[in-house]
Structure 1
Amino acid sequence: MDDAPLIAGVELGGTKCIVMLASGPEAVHERVELPTTKPDETLAAIKAVIDGWRGYAALGIASFGPVSIDPKAGDYGRITSTPKPGWAGTDVARRLAARYGLPTGFHSDVVGAALGEARWGAAAGLDDLAYVTVGTGIGVGLVAHGRPVDGLTHSELGHVRPQRLGGDDWSGVCPFHGACVEGLASGPAIAARSGIKGEDLPPDHPAWDGVVHALAQMLHMVVLTGVPRRIVMGGGVMVGSQFLFPRVRAALRQSLGGYIAIAEVEDVDTFVVPPALGNNAGPLGAIVLGEQALRAG
C-alpha cells in the first residue's frame, strides 16, 4: 500500500457526502463528512476540504445520479434527471476537475461502491460483481473485468418495473415511474406505505413482503445480465435490516427456479452478501476511480 498513489475522493450522496484523502482502507489520511444541501453550498464545502490537502495525484468522484459519464457528451460530469430538488443539471466533475487540474475519475455512487468492495471488501479478488444499494434510492453498479460496465450511460436497474405480488396495486412513490423497484422498496417507499420508517418497522410487518419481492425481481434481472460473480447489497435499508438478507436470498432462488445452474449463483448465501467496507465503500470506490483516471493518463 506504501507505493499506492494518494488520491482525493468524493462520494456525493443524496443525504451526505464524504470527502477522503487516501490510498486505500489502511491508509486513510483524512475523512470528512458533510451534509448534502443545495448544490453551490455543498460543492463549496467539498472544495474547502480539498483545498486544504496537498500531495494527491488524482481526484475521484462517485455521485448520486443519474449522472452523465460520457466524456464526449456536452453534459458530461453533470447530474441529470435526479428527483432530488435543485440538483438536476448540476455540474460536478468538470467543475472540480477544472479547479484542481488533475486526472479526474467520475461515475455513479453505486459503481464507486462496487469498485471499492471489489478491491478491498466483500468481493475482494473478484473482477465481476454487482453492488446494490437500497436506501433513499435504489441503484445497481456493475463491474466486469475490474472496470465499470457502461456505454451510453450507467445502469439504472433500480427503476425497472418488477412483476407485482398478486393483489398488490399500490402505486409506489417514484416521481418518474411510480411502482418501479425504487418506488416500491426504497426507504421513502417503506415509510410511505407503512407509515413507519424502515428502521422502526418490525421484521414481521407485512410491508416487508412487497420489499422482498421487488428486490428479488431486480436481483433476478441482475443475475441474468451474466456479469456478477457476487452481489453485494448495501444501503441503509439492507444494512439496517439484516433480517432481509435470508428473505431476499430465498426469494431470488425461488424466482430463478434453478435456471442459472452455476455453483456461484446456486450457493446463494455467498452470492448475495452485505458489504464489508460499511460506510467507506463509496468513498474508497472514489479513490479507485481516481486511480483509474491516473493510470489512463
Structure 2
Amino acid sequence: MSAPLIAGVELGGTKVICVLASGPNDVRDRVQIPTTTPDETLGAVEDVLRRWSGYDALGIASFGPVSLDRSAATYGFITSTPKPGWSDTDVAMRLATVAGVPLGFDSDVNGAALGEGRWGAAHDVADHAYMTVGTGVGVGLVLGGAPVSGMTHAELGHVRPVRMAGDGWAGSCPFHGDCVEGLVSGPAIRARTGTAAQDLAARDPVWETVAHTLAQLCHTLVLTGIPRRIVMGGGVVVGVPHLLPEIRTRLVASLGGYVAAPALLPIDDFVVPAGLGGMAGPLGAVQLGVLALERG
C-alpha cells in the first residue's frame, strides 16, 4: 500500500512553505510564499491548494500561539501573536474549506518535532523533544508518535532557567526578561553583544551563558519524563558547531546523576542535532496530514 499524498503547509513568520508529498523521498512540488498580511498570504496558499490535485489530507504547522482546542470556536486560529496583523486569524478552517480533505493542525514547532520523529533524528524512538533556537526558542514534545498538548501547546522557551553565577543581564524577552528565549535566542544574543550569533567568535564569553541556559532547558525536559531523545535545531544551534558539545556536558553536570535512565547515556546519542534541516517543518506538516487520516 502506497503512502498517502499530503498537502503540507508550514506557515512561518517570514515565509510559508507548501509541499505536495508523501515523504522526504517523494516531494512532488514545493512552493515558497512570503508571509505578509493574512489575506495576501493565505490567499496565495489557497491558490496553491486549488492548483494541486489528488491529495488525501491537509496538514498545517503554523507559527503562533495557536488554538489547538478542537471544541473551541477559535480552533485553528493564530491567537495573541506579536506579529502585526495576525492576531485572531483563522488559518486552519479557511484553508481546510478550500482543500476539502481531512485536516491536521498544530504549532510549527510541534510540526517540526513530528517531522524529525517520522523521518529525521528521532525516527527510532517513540518519545522525543524537538528544540529550535533561532529567532525564538520553541519546544515540541512527541509522546507515542503524537504531539503533546493540553490547555495550550508547550511554551517551554519561556521557562525561567537557573541563571549562571555572576550573570546579571536582564534579558530581552518583552514578557519575562530573562526566560530562556530572552537569554539565548538570536535577537537576544544580538541585543546583548551587538553581533549576530553566527558572527561571534567561538571563545566569546556569551557562549558559556548560552550553553548553560540551554542545558537548563534540557534539564527541565528530562524531568518531564517524556523524551528519550532531545533533537536540537534552529539557526543558533546549526550555525554554531561548538555549542552542542558544551550543552551536553553542562546537562550531565546539572542533572548530577539524579536521572539514571539508560537513554541518557551516551549523552551524544541523547542530545542530537536535527536531521531534516529546513525540511523538518514542511515534512512535519505532511505528518500532521497523515495523523489526520489515521484519526478518521
Q: TM-score range by the shorter chain?
A: over 0.9
Output the CA distance in 2 between the equivalents of 1:35 and 1:206: 36
Find the aligned partners of 1:137 and 1:30 in 2 and give their Cα distance.
29
Q: Indicate conservation of the 8 Å contact 2:184/2:213, yes or no.
A: yes
- Contact 1:11–1:18 under 8 Å retained in 2: yes
Deviation for aligned residue 1:56: 0.3
Q: How far off is 1:70 after superposition?
A: 0.8
The residue type equivalent to 1:232 in the other structure is V
Task: State the alpha-carbon separation in 1 of the partners of residues 70 and 275 from structure 2.
Answer: 31
* Cα offsets for 1:96-130 (capped at 9, x unmatched): 11222211100011111111111111111211000
Q: Distance in 2 between matches of 1:294 and 1:3?
A: 14
Written as runs of structure 1 = structure 2, the 5 A alignment for 1:179-198 is: 179-198=178-197
Q: Does 1:227 align with 2:243?
A: no
Measure, in 1, the Cα distance between the counterparts of 2:265 and 2:193: 33
What is the DSSP-based 3-state SS (H/G/I as helix, E as strand, rest coil) of the residue aligned with 2:8?
strand
Partner residue, 2:278 = 279
Shift of 1:263: 2.0
Shift of residue 82, structure 1, vs aligned partner = 2.1
SS of the equivalent of 1:28 reads strand
Q: In the aligned structure 2, how far is the partner of 1:49 from the partner of 1:196?
A: 38
Moved more, 185-194 or 76-85: 76-85
Post-superposition offset of 1:268:
1.0
Cα separation, 2, equivalents of 1:98 and 1:78: 14
User: Does the CA-based 8 Å contact 1:172-1:180 persist in structure 2?
Assistant: yes
Q: CA deviation at 1:45?
A: 2.0
Do the aligned residues in 2 keep the contact of 1:114 with 1:281 (CA within 8 Å)? yes
Higher mean C-alpha deviation, range 205-214 or range 186-195: 205-214
| Equivalence for 2:46 | 47
Distance 2:45 2:295 in 1: 25
User: Which residue of structure 2 aligns with residue 90 of structure 1?
Assistant: 89
Residue aligned with 2:183, SS: helix
More off after superposition, 164-173 vs 54-63: 164-173
Are 1:143 and 2:142 counterparts? yes
Which is worse superposed, 175-184 or 34-43? Answer: 34-43
Contact 2:50 2:98 in 1 (8 A): no
Contact (CA 8 Å) 2:49, 2:99: kept in 1 or not?
no
Give aligned pairs, total: 296
Of 281-290 and 35-44, deviating more is 35-44
Instruction: Give the 3-state SS of the residue equivalent to 2:106 in structure 1.
Output: strand
- What aligned pairs does 1:14-33 form with structure 2 within 5 A after superposition? 14-33=13-32
Hey, what's the Cα distance between the residues in 2 that align with 1:274 and 1:104?
30
> Is residue 135 of structure 2 the alignment partner of residue 129 of structure 1?
no
Deviates more, 1:273-282 or 1:165-174: 165-174
| Cα drift, residue 41 of structure 1 | 1.9
The TM-score with structure 2 as length reference comes to 0.97
Aligned partners of 1:219 and 1:252 also within 8 Å: yes
Q: 5 Å matches for 1:191-270?
A: 191-270=190-269
> Could you list the runs of 5+ residues in structure 2 that have no partner in the other structure?
none
- Name the aligned partner's letter for residue 100 of structure 2: G
Superposition deviation, residue 133 in structure 1: 0.5
Aligned to 1:160: 159
Report how far residue 37 of structure 1 moved: 2.1
**Runs of at least 4 residues off by over 6 Å:** none
Whether the 8 Å CA contact 1:67–1:80 is kept in 2: the answer is: yes
Shift of 1:212: 1.2
Q: Do 1:230 and 1:270's aligned partners in 2 also have CA atoms closer than 8 Å?
A: yes
The 1-side partners of 2:246 and 2:43 are apart by 42
Q: Please tell me whether the aligned partners of residues 131 and 230 of structure 2 are also in contact (alpha carbons under 8 angstroms).
A: yes
* Distance in 2, Cα, partners of 1:211 & 1:39: 34
SS in 1 for 2:237: helix
> C-alpha displacement at 1:57, in angstroms?
0.8
Amino acid at match of 1:157: L
User: Are the counterparts in 2 of residues 83 and 175 from structure 1 also a CA contact under 8 Å?
Assistant: no
Q: Is the 8 A contact 1:253 1:266 kept in 2?
A: no
SS in 1 for 2:118: helix
- CA offset at residue 154 of structure 1? 1.1
Ranges in structure 1 where 5+ consecutive residues have no aligned partner: none
Report the Cα offset of residue 74 of structure 1: 1.9
Q: Does structure 1 conserve the Cα–Cα contact (< 8 Å) formed by 2:49 and 2:98?
A: no
Kept in 2, the 8 Å contact 1:260–1:266? The answer is no
CA distance in 2: counterparts of 1:105 and 1:29, whole angstroms: 20
Identity fraction in percent? 63
